[in-house]
Amino acid sequence: MALQEITDTLVGLKSDEVVDLVKAKLKSGVEPHEVLKALMVGMDKVGKLFEKNEYYLTELVLAGEMMKDALKVLGPKLKSDQSSSKQKVICATVLGDYHDIGKNILRILLISAGFEVIDLGTDCSKEKIIKAVKKYGVKVVALSSLMIMTLKEISDVSAALKEAGLRDQVKIIVGGAPLNMELAKELGADDFAADAVEGVRHIKALMGA
Amino acid sequence: MNHEEPDRIPALEVAFYSDTIKKHYGMKVGGESSLKIVQYLPFRTRLVRKFLENPKIAVKSLIDSFKFYIKMKLDVGLTIVSNFPRNVIRGGFIDEYGRIMQYEKYKGDGTYILGYHGGHLHNFEDFEQWGVLDPQDEIREVMLKATIEAQRELNNEIFAIPAVASVFENTWEGFGLENFSKILAHPKEAQAIFDSRGEFTLEMTKIVTEHDIRAILLWDDYGFKNGLFTNPRHYRTYVFPWLKKICDTAHKKDCKVILHSDGDILELFEDIIQSGVDALHPIEPTTANPEYNIFKLHAKYRDKITFIGNISPAMLSTGKITEIEEYSKKLIRELAPGGGYIFSSGHSINPAVTLDRWLAVLNIREKYGQYPIQVPD
């Protein structure tokens, strides 16, 4: 019941209250991972409201910002027992493209869903992606491309992973305005998501989570 | 836009980013490279403003640009009267709304594109310090006078329309979506910000009509591929009251209002019509909503609003020529009879659009764009 309040605050988008509430719960002796669980339930509900068209992009983003603020308080208390076991995902906007709204929403939703996100930013070269795949041993690379003229970069990343002998170990999921599933496959990706909420669901499936 | 048949279907493009196509028509390209030098100079913002305030330069650059449009037989040329640089920074500038804009070079043909790179403002306090936009800024007057002069110099072969930033997109982009989403959770702050931006666009509309200009284009984006950026109630509270005032002001002086908005904005379609918008561009064809379809919308609203669009930029980049030709013919055949339709791409011409595909579009409009409309199936 006490933790329901945290979930409700997030779902109700009471952005000025969430940090104080998290601090109060921790002070009262609630375990950090229980607080995190309540927040994750809240984000999941917000995602569902977004999919039902009851919440819109700014509401999804606001919930993500609330989650980020809450994690700043929770983070240091969670580090010791959580981070090593998390599944890792790379998020990046492809080379030549600087749009990052979709990527940033996906990042926070993935974090909220318990993933560790390696965010490579925008205008990201295939070399940078290969290096990160090797370094972190990720199984999923999520690429964003919002411009028609940068779509080819998806093929280039796929080809570069193949050349590096990593393609069989890594799934590529893509998103962005000009894309659909057919085009995604044509470009060498394994999957496509129409929005960040769907992206999280698909990434879970790709991970076998 | 009067829903009457003219001599031919008007055609317009709101943005043209393709050095390849420009070169084909003999246009000089690469002017953006001078920015590489300017960005390192002291007083660079003042220098850029001096350049923009120069009436001779303004008229010449508009005439050059309009001549390019005339060669392609486009009928409308846009001029920019807002979003000027407030601070020139490395690789671009921060505009009047606080939007960080950077020049991006397309590696294909070297075309420079001005892209949005986030918001400079973080919160309401930043907004208050940033201050209001000044409709009386000298640059706007120079651009408006140049708009009229360039059209006259070209013997009215092109209809020059000032484009002014409208209330929603430019406002949120000044903050970035994350910060702006937080501001929306504080209605008093959101109202103050939107009122300030709405007041500016309204004043700009008044100024445009005082110059006896008969159309204005409002730059905005209410949606994206999957729907609206924010809850419809936010548009109804903060945006549409201003949009209505802007349209009413324009209409009093016989000035038409064209609204540009990307994305699937089906949920707001009737609000837009009720606000008084005369024409909507571009009815983006690549949204995820099959109901956001220019032919379906035209069947329902053809008497209430003019449609501008909507040949898919994706099709113009990778589609088959025959596919482009058939879609262009379908647009003319189904939407043009009776007037109320302007031929255009479904967004803008970007560097991925190939010359042969673009020429195919122009060819169809040239071949079938005369009234009375006769397009074979």
How many Å lie between the alpha carbon of B127 and the closest alpha carbon of chain A? 19
Residue pair B251/B174 in contact by the 8 Å Cβ criterion: no
Tell me where in chain A the CATH 1.10.1240.10 domain(s) lie: 4-82
Residue pair B197/A24 in contact by the 8 Å Cβ criterion: no
Query: Residue B230 and residue A53: Cβ atoms within 8 Å?
Result: no
Residue pair A90/A118 in contact by the 8 Å Cβ criterion: yes
Please identify, in words, the CATH class of the domain defined by A4-82.
mainly alpha
Q: Is B125 exposed, middle or buried (0-12, 13-18, 19+ CB in 10 A)?
A: exposed
Report the share of chain B in percent with pLDDT over 90: 88
Residue B165, in any domain of the structure: yes
Report the share of chain B in percent with pLDDT over 70: 98
- DSSP letter, residue B162: E
B183 to chain A: closest CA residue: A62
Residue pair B16/B345 in contact by the 8 Å Cβ criterion: no
Q: Average pLDDT of A113-125? A: 94
Q: Average pLDDT of A131-158? A: 94
Q: What is the pLDDT of residues B47-74, one digit of tens each?
A: 889 999 999 999 999 999 999 999 999 9
pLDDT of residue A80: 55
Cα–Cα distance, B163 to B77 (Å, whole number): 10
Instruction: Please say whether the dihedral angle defined by the alpha carbons of residues B311, B154, B79 and B105, taken in this order, is positive or negative.
Output: positive
Whose CA is closest to A114, among A18, A33, A8?
A33
Query: Residue A148 and residue B317: Cβ atoms within 8 Å?
Result: yes
A65 to chain B: closest CA residue: B178
Residue B373, in any domain of the structure: no
What residues in chain B have their Cβ under 8 A from chain A's Cβ atoms?
102, 104, 106-108, 115-118, 177-178, 180-182, 184-185, 224-231, 234, 286, 288, 313-314, 317-318, 350-352
Query: Residue A147 and residue B178: Cβ atoms within 8 Å?
Result: no
Residue B375, in any domain of the structure: no
Residue of B169, B182, B221 best to disrupt the A interface, most CBs of A under 10 A: B182
Residue pointed to by tokens 């903060």:
B238
Cα–Cα distance, A183 to A176 (Å, whole number): 11
How many Å lie between the alpha carbon of B117 and the closest alpha carbon of chain A? 7
- Tokens linked to B62: 């508009």
Task: Assign A98 a pLDDT band (cuts: 50, 70, 90).
Answer: confident
Q: What is the mean pLDDT of chain B?
A: 95
- Tokens linked to B321: 């020529």
Instruction: Please say whether the dihedral angle defined by the alpha carbons of residues B113, A117, A80 and A22, taken in this order, is positive or negative.
Output: positive
B314 to chain A: closest CA residue: A148
pLDDT of residue B40: 77
Residue A4 CB coordination number (10 Å): 11
- Tokens linked to B71: 């060669």
Tell me where in chain A the CATH 3.40.50.280 domain(s) lie: 86-207
A122 to chain B: closest CA residue: B117
pLDDT of residue B24: 95
Of B181, B226, B350, the CB nearest to A62: B181
Cα–Cα distance, B35 to B92 (Å, whole number): 8
CA distances from A94 to A144, A148, B92, B337 (A): 6, 11, 21, 43
pLDDT of residue B357: 97
Task: Assign A177 a pLDDT band (cuts: 50, 70, 90).
Answer: confident
Task: Assign A76 a pLDDT band (cuts: 50, 70, 90).
Answer: confident
Model ipTM?
0.93
Task: Assign A82 a pLDDT band (cuts: 50, 70, 90).
Answer: low
Task: Assign A126 a pLDDT band (cuts: 50, 70, 90).
Answer: very high
Residue of B169, B226, B286, B316 best to disrupt the A interface, most CBs of A under 10 A: B226
pLDDT of residue A84: 57
Which range is least confidently modeled, A71-80, B281-290, B338-347? A71-80
- Looking at the 3D structure of chain B, how many domains does it have? 1
Residue pointed to by tokens 């255009």:
B344
Task: Assign B107 a pLDDT band (cuts: 50, 70, 90).
Answer: confident
Please identify, in words, the CATH class of the domain defined by A86-207.
alpha beta
A62 to chain B: closest CA residue: B181
- CB contacts < 8 A (A, B): 75
pLDDT of residue A79: 62
pLDDT at A83 over 90: no
Q: Average pLDDT of A175-202? A: 93
Residue B11, in any domain of the structure: no
pLDDT at B34 over 80: no
Q: Can you give the CATH number for the domain in which B196 is found?
A: 3.20.20.210
Task: Assign B33 a pLDDT band (cuts: 50, 70, 90).
Answer: low
Using DSSP's 3-state secondary structure scheme, residue B306 falls into strand
The kind and range of the H/E element at A118 are strand A116-119
- Tokens linked to A35: 């607080």
Q: To 10 degrees, the CA torsion angle through A122, A126, A127, A128?
A: 30
Query: Residue B102 and residue A98: Cβ atoms within 8 Å?
Result: yes
Query: Residue B226 and residue A53: Cβ atoms within 8 Å?
Result: no
Cα–Cα distance, B355 to B109 (Å, whole number): 12
Q: To 10 degrees, the CA torsion angle through A156, A161, A162, A163?
A: 90
Q: Is B107 exposed, middle or buried (0-12, 13-18, 19+ CB in 10 A)?
A: middle
Q: What is the pLDDT of residues B189-224, one digit of tens each?
A: 999 999 999 999 999 999 999 999 999 999 999 999
Residue pointed to by tokens 């599933």:
A181
Residue B5, in any domain of the structure: no
Residue of A10, A54, A60, A62 best to disrupt the B interface, most CBs of B under 10 A: A62
Strand order from edge to edge, sheet including B112-119:
B85-89, B92-95, B99-105, B112-119
**What is the DSSP secondary-structure string of A121-183?**
-SSB-HHHHHHHHHHHT-SEEEEE--SGGGTHHHHHHHHHHHHTT-GGG-EEEEE-TT--HHH
pLDDT at B314 over 60: yes
Q: Across chain B, where does the E strand assignment appear? A: 76-80, 85-89, 92-95, 99-105, 112-119, 159-165, 215-219, 223-224, 227-228, 256-260, 279-281, 306-311, 341-345
Cα–Cα distance, A96 to B107 (Å, whole number): 8
Residues with Cβ within 8 Å of B28's Cβ and at least 6 positions away in sequence, in order, are B64
Find the domain containing B133 and state its range.
19-368
Cα–Cα distance, A151 to A179 (Å, whole number): 8
- Tokens linked to B93: 């500038």
Query: Residue B314 and residue A148: Cβ atoms within 8 Å?
Result: yes
Query: Residue A58 and residue B108: Cβ atoms within 8 Å?
Result: no
Q: For residue B231, list chain A residues with Cβ-Cβ distance below 8 A.
A: 55-56, 58-59
- DSSP letter, residue B346: S
Pairing of strands B341-345, B227-228: unpaired
Residue pair B249/B198 in contact by the 8 Å Cβ criterion: no
Instruction: Please say whether the dihedral angle defined by the alpha carbons of residues A83, A87, A88 and A89, taken in this order, is positive or negative.
Output: negative
Q: Which residue has the higher pLDDT, B81 or B44?
A: B81
Q: What is the pLDDT of residues B131-170, one digit of tens each?
A: 999 999 999 999 999 999 999 999 999 999 999 999 999 9
Task: Assign A147 a pLDDT band (cuts: 50, 70, 90).
Answer: confident
- DSSP letter, residue B373: P
Whose CA is closest to A146, among B342, B115, B58?
B115
Query: Residue B180 and residue A58: Cβ atoms within 8 Å?
Result: yes
- Which amino acid makes up residue B223? G
Query: Residue B231 and residue A53: Cβ atoms within 8 Å?
Result: no
Task: Assign A191 a pLDDT band (cuts: 50, 70, 90).
Answer: very high
Of B177, B182, B351, the CB nearest to A101: B177
pLDDT at A81 over 60: no
